[in-house]
Amino acid sequence: MSFTTLPRIGMGTFRLRGDDARDAVKSALSLGYRHIDTAQMYNNEAEVGDGITSSGIPRREIFLTTKIWHDRLRADDLIHSLHDSLARLKTDHVNLALIHWPSPGDEVPMEEYLGALRDAQREGLTEHIGLSNFTCAQMERAKAILGDAPILTNQVEVHPFLANRQVVAHAQRLGMTVTGYMPLAVGKVMDDPTLQRIALEHNATPAQIAIAWSVARGVVPIPSSTRPSHQKANLEALNLTLSEEDIRAIDALDRGERLANPGFAPDWD
């Protein structure tokens, strides 16, 4: 089965380790998720692979994403690292390989690592290619470098307290889907009075409202959870329809609160 687009929601695995990662992936797949997101830096690709294998869901029905860390961006390194990822994930290809962060300080030229990523795609190591944590200007550069090769997504932090409007709008203009990580702002959405009020009106949870808001913007959320009940609720958020009034109220919560901001991050828009 070949995927032409990203599934509407994914299961994120950041910070999940060992049996937690294995069980969370297996449980998510049994509940109906078909999009699993991991990364070399998460140190859990082997466990994610175990979860997929033990789920009984055929590999061809699962959209699997991994991300290449910024210390493996040299052309040879990138290809080798992807082979290593595939061995850990127990698969012959991923559906999407992302550059996790642009090379800090442009130490490795974008032409080099995006060229290598394109080569990995040509070799069949990945079905699609994409970016993560790229700014508007960096997306423009990537698009110019890759030419006709489609960039499926730019995966960035998106939640009600960081709407990331410029990047979302620019990615969509360039024909990239936006994948939103940390859609629940590491649980902070649960305590917000506006989200609580809207949740009450929809007989839902604040987490479900935050996910529905992302989806309404055309963003693919990848919430992370180890609890099957939460995973199920996150999946069911796809059935919610927010009113324009709801969306305006949630939009007003944007305060530029960035949770993922390491020292090597680019100059954000």
Residues serving a catalytic function are: 42
Residue with tokens 């007003």: 252
Confirm whether residue 170 is marked as ligand binding. no
Round to whole Å and give the CA distance between 223 and 207: 9
268 exposed, middle or buried (CB, 10 Å; 0-12, 13-18, 19+)? middle
Return all residues near 241 (Cβ < 8 A) that are at least 6 apart.
212
Q: Is 232 helix (H, G, I), strand (E, B) or coil?
A: helix
Q: Is 131 helix (H, G, I), strand (E, B) or coil?
A: strand
Output the CA torsion 110→178→18→127 (10° steps).
-60
Residue with tokens 């809207």: 198
36: its two tokens: 């699993």
Q: Which residues are annotated as a binding site for substrate?
A: 100
Q: Which residues are annotated as a binding site?
A: 100
